[in-house]
Structure 1
Amino acid sequence: MSSSSSSSHLAFAHPEERAAATASADPRDRISLRDYMVDVEIGAFQTERGLTQRLMFNIVVEVQPQAAPLDDDVDKIMSYDRITEAISDELAAGRVNLLETLAEHVAERILAAPQAMRAFVRIEKLDRGPFKLGVDIVRTRAATPVQAQTDDGAVLHPVVAFFDNAMIADAALVARVAGLEARGAPLVLCVGMPEVAPAQVGIDVVQKRIDLLAIEQNAWVLAARNRDWLVVDSRTEIDWAIRQGKTIVWAPPKLVLDAVDSPLDRASDGAALALWLAEELAAQALVMPEGQKLSAGSRVPVETFAEQAG
């Protein structure tokens, strides 16, 4: 089958087939809900108000395999009820106009389960004609920001700042960071590749790890400019440091390698990794050197150091 015909086939394939075709290298289990039908009042058109219509749900959830023996214990798995409850709870939350909105919210509820890694949600209207009208979405835990919170439950939205090598060596670095700290938000500092290129090998996956380690070394170079800045590499450390009000220097290897939808293909691009981290942390802003190129479509507002100075 050609790539174009294969893509067309997958566009209409059941979510279970789509999940299998787009699976990552790491092992995952799948649970599914097929042809689950509910009567719902939904729709943006006036003719759809005050009436119910049938919706059909097909959902596949990729979950982390259980490391310890299951012992036939239901508490050690993600229950199928989690899927049906996500649907019923979202429908009970209030009327929506769009299938897209409903699918998005159902996926969010499913991905709140700690075992859930990726959710495929298909919803179809059955009563709009002699056909089905529907929407398919795929959402991952990586696309759902996990936000650090204070002890009283308040969400903390940090500022993430990327420094190029010229800025790391600049005598004004500490003052520049102090200006960012003055904003009053938690601060995460990121760097890219060092001036001296790391060793080059002929194996792509190995090279990516070497590049990540080179960025980590550069993070320690940055942290050496101020002993109060804390180098961190795990999500637990980041959340703790944010709650403690520490200024953080991010060492990327662990988070990048452990991520469900890892940005490993951008291992040598420090700015792209900083953007990924900002989205993961639901940052209030990403501050970049003027002229730094980023991919379009960021979910985080991007500022420049020039704007900060102004």
Structure 2
Amino acid sequence: MFNEEFKKKDLENLAAKRKENEDYILVRDYIREIDIGAFQSEYGVKQRVSFNVILEVNSNNYEMHDDVDRVLSYDNIIEIIEDEINQKRVALLETLAEQIALSCLCLQSVITATVRIEKLDRGIGKLGVQISRTQAQMQRVQRNINALNSGNLVIRTRVPNAGLLFISNWMLRSENIYTLENFFSSSKMTWIMCLPEIFNKFSEMDSVTHTEILTMAIAQNAYRLSKKFKDWQLARNKTEVVFLLKEGVNCIWCPTDNYKFSKEDMFLNNKFALNMACHLTKELLMKEIYLFEQDKLSDVLTKDINKKGVIVKYCSR
């Protein structure tokens, strides 16, 4: 059984695990209704299917840390399951399990992928398959998987109907808060709101040598705004942003010093916050960054941003 296999790996081989620095991440009892099966009676009929996945990960590739963006996320596994079941229909559970396992092996540091898939509505009990695939087997398989692997969180697809809005301190003045609230209440999109440094004088600091200070200044601004937008959630890392946007929850970007943003990512002179917002836009696989017309950028800045593959769009208040 799946539970027994996990217990065996996690308990009986504990000493070996410590020696080899192998960890496990798992998703259990993820249930979806899908069209699958080889019998004629199963075609065109959705049935409940349960997914269980265990990934064995080599932790040697990571130093000890507490940064959620630098570990595999449960969302990585769920996105792979969703991607595969949204591909063309398959007849066999074995085929689907194979596709999921091979996709999981494309994630960084994954050594072994164990996948169990069960039909819940076919007769009495559960009917299913369980397979295990290793990285060595993966290397012998020619497979083209369209995935973005940046060394931390793997984002495979853009969150639909979501946008990133960069707002100036002028728009955050008390006389403009009502305008902001009115805009968001009438919008049908889910938003991640990115802010500048809490005081304009921070923008005079050198972006390369004062990255940590400028990051904290943005976070302070986020905390201040969250007191006014109490229904919005603070998002402190990329993983949290993706989760909230998928859930349809508006959020405010509140970066920490764990966020991977280096001087190599900065291409706008003396525009640290806008630079970070553009970087986050690309990491979220978004094509546009939104601003209010009152915050219109110069033609030079707009061209520089466009060169990085991000389109600048403006919203009316």
TM-score by length of 1: 0.48
TM-score by length of 2: 0.47
